[in-house]
A and B are shown apart, each in its own frame.
Chain A
Amino acid sequence: MSTAWVAALIGLADDHLILGHRLSEWCGHAPMLEEDLAMPNIALDLIGQARGLYTYAGELEGAGRDEDALAFGRLERAYRNLLICELPNGDFAQTMLRQFYFASFMHLFWQKVERSTDTTLAAIAAKAVKEAQYHRRHCAEWVVRLGDGTDESARRMHEAVTLLAPYTGEFFIADPEASGAVAAGVLPQIQTLQPAWQADVEQVFAAAKLALPQAVYAQKGGRRGLHTEAMGHLLAQLQFMQRSFPDMTW
């Protein structure tokens, strides 16, 4: 088994850990009890997927790093997550739209990985694809209800569309660290997912009576460890316990 794409798997795991952490910030703050359970449910799914990926990446790497070492023991520049995952939650509309974008993307992604030549990744994908399918469905329903809801919810959803527009292009920029895995049939060629993702977004936006965002410059750099200002603050919270009490368990 090749270690050539360990960094690609760590990037994928980082997407899930960082977005899962962001979503967990809603716990206890959601607008209603039902959603206060639904969002941490999704966050737990994402963190579960991150654990599987970190553990496997650590095994492939063979340097003795386990899931905790990878999740909590790196500096900011070593995290390779997409920028959209680390953005602050904003309001409920921004959180739901981001989650819909990500879940729609990952649902397509995992469907490809289910047929990966790497059986461990295929097994992770087989579980994750069902979770992503539900996340996509749940968040799409909220995008429709907020976009086609009250004056205020529509205004907030329009603002979310504009705010997130620069951050969706990065989904489809090929990760150089993944090129070996793509060639070996381990991971999909990411650009091939874009038409289906675009079609999904257009369909949901039509139902939500939302205008598609104008084409804007795609912010990028996450896969190279170049993060937004929000990332350091997020890591301070995420890493505090392991930094203060290394290797603690509870």
Chain B
Amino acid sequence: MSETEEIPLWEVFIRPRNGLAHRHCGSLHAADAEMALQAARDVYTRRGEGLSVWVIPSAQIVASDPQDRDALFDPADDKIYRHPSFYNIPDDVGHM
């Protein structure tokens, strides 16, 4: 599969319905943007999953470093007052 290794990797995002956001659903190899879009259609929307597709070169994604996890995310653990869980919701509102 050495040839496949040289073909760029793309991340695929599908929007399943109007009004929803595009969601990451996987990745694939393709030579360029047009082929990536077609491959995304063939690989990820075969069962009617989508109305819209985005593809983004995986190399263009800037990711947080796993080693920074504690510094970035632990400080939020003890700030429960940021959760909107101290309100009484009237019954008439139903499911929120």
Contacts and interface: CB of A to CB of B under 8 A. Distances in A.
B35 A141 contact: yes
Task: Identify the interface centre among B4, B34, B42: most chain A CB within 10 Å of its CB.
Answer: B42
B43 interface: yes
Interface string A137-153: 11001000100000000
A34 B39 contact: yes
B3 interface: yes
Interface string A34-60: 110110010000000000000000000
A32 B29 contact: yes
Contacts of A34: 28-30, 39, 42-43
Contacts of B58: none
| Dominant secondary structure of chain A at its interface with chain B | helix
| Dominant secondary structure of chain B at its interface with chain A | helix
B72 interface: no
Contacts of B43: 33-34, 37
Contact of A145 (B4, B29, B35, B41): B35
A38 B39 contact: yes
B21 interface: no
B51 interface: no
Contacts of B29: 32-34
A145 B41 CA distance: 19
A31 interface: yes
Interface string B40-56: 01110010000000000
B38 A37 contact: no
Contacts of B30: 34
Nearest to B31: A145
Interface in A11-39: 31-35, 37-38
A141 B31 CA distance: 11
A31 B3 contact: yes
B7 interface: yes
Nearest to B30: A34
Contacts of B46: 37, 41
A112 to B, nearest CB: 26
A232 B28 CA distance: 38
A113 B33 CA distance: 33
A197 B34 CA distance: 23
Contacts of A41: 42, 46
A35 to B, nearest CB: 8
A137 B38 CA distance: 9
Contacts of B28: 33-34
Task: Identify the interface centre among B28, B34, B38, B46: most chain A CB within 10 Å of its CB.
Answer: B38
A38 B3 contact: no
Contacts of A37: 42-43, 46
7 contacts: A33-B43, A34-B29, A35-B39, A38-B38, A38-B42, A141-B35, A145-B31
Given A32-B7, A33-B43, A34-B30, 15 more contacts: A32-B4, A32-B29, A34-B43, A37-B42, A38-B38, A38-B39, A41-B42, A41-B46, A134-B41, A138-B38, A138-B42, A141-B34, A141-B38, A145-B32, A145-B35
Interface of A: 31-35, 37-38, 41, 134, 137-138, 141, 145
